[in-house]
Structure 1
Amino acid sequence: MLLRTRAWDIVREDYPVLKEDSSLADAMRELNRVSDSGCLCALVLDDNGRLKGAVSMWDTVRFMEDNLLHGISLRGFDENRFDQMYTNACKVAGSTSVKDVMDSSMTVVAPDDPLLSVLEGFVKKGRSYAVVKEGARVLGVIMIADLFKEISGQIVSHGK
């Protein structure tokens, strides 16, 4: 089944899109808006609509962790000092462009690639999403949950 099912069979056509100069706070807003749908990333386009990268939930969390915990120990940490550091990290996120934190080497698959190739791309790059492109045109994204649902459905149906 992983060779017969293609990327176009499970591609999501609804995903957030950001411009390169969007702030990381904008990315967080967009990702929060679609989080219930299971979408884990927003695609980043240049002013001409060309794909430049993606910003995932992991990228935003990693950014906040880098800005909050850089060089400090949480043991015996003053809560008031942390609140101030958190406020400062939020301000930095508001002034940081997504182009500074985006993944520009995303997993990219073609619509007719078998799911086995999609799985291989996820594993090789350690990403939880893949971009489906046909030539220069972005058709959508595939999330790890979409791939898991397809694989686990096959395992469950064969295990009966």
Structure 2
Amino acid sequence: MLLRKRAWDMMHEDFATVDESASLAEAIRTLRESMKTTPQNSVVVVLKKSGSPRGILSVWELLKAVEDGVLKDEELRLTEETDWDQAFKRAGILCAREALDKHIVDDFTVLKPTDPMLVVVELIRKGKQPWALVQEGGKVIGVVHLNDIYREMTRDLV
């Protein structure tokens, strides 16, 4: 049974997307909204105007962006004079306006919907990312997460 599984059997069709011109705040907001209905979503697919993928923003990249932009802000210093609420708000506003370019992962694994399980596992392992995009006709039609592969592979083992 396992060898009959294909990428389309594991992919999620309800994934978060933003346009490549979106701000960091838009990407964060989009992923948070997506996670309300699909908690396993951990990536935002960044699309070009043509609809083809430009790259991915994972929770990891978004956290690094927030850490770099907010938590390392010069005004957030441990002094008695620091107005923490004001400094954090200012740093958050500056971070949220930031463009996505320096945070996008543009080296991502692409699967075909008909790729068999063994090919999916091999490509994800080689790509060293816990997710892959499923593309057909130049458009993203789904996202496969490492957790989905694990569930499928171990379902009949235990």
* TM-score exceeds 0.5: yes
The normalised TM-score by structure 2 is 0.82
Question: Alpha carbon RMSD of aligned pairs, Å?
Answer: 2.6
Identity %: 32
Assess, with a 3 A threshold, how the Cα gap between structure 1 residues 71 and 116 changes in structure 2: closer, same or farther.
Answer: farther
Q: 1:97 maps to which residue?
A: 99
1:111 and 2:94 matched: no
CA-to-aligned-CA distance 1:24-76 (integer Å, 9 cap, x gap): 1111111111224111111111122221111111110011122345499xxx9
Structure 2 stretches lacking a partner, 5+ long: none
The normalised TM-score by structure 1 is 0.81
Matches within 5 A, 1:81-160: 83-156=85-158
Cα separation, 1, equivalents of 2:130 and 2:48: 23
CA-to-aligned-CA distance 1:68-124 (integer Å, 9 cap, x gap): 45499xxx9458466555334321332112233111111111111122222223332
Structure 1 stretches lacking a partner, 5+ long: none
Q: Indicate the SS of the match to 1:89.
A: helix
In the alignment, is the contact (CA less than 8 A) between 1:68 and 1:85 conserved in 2?
no
Number of residue-to-residue matches in the alignment = 154
In the alignment, is the contact (CA less than 8 A) between 1:23 and 1:93 conserved in 2?
no
Cα separation, 1, equivalents of 2:13 and 2:114: 15
> Which structure 1 residue ranges, 4+ long, deviate > 3 Å from structure 2?
68-72, 76-86
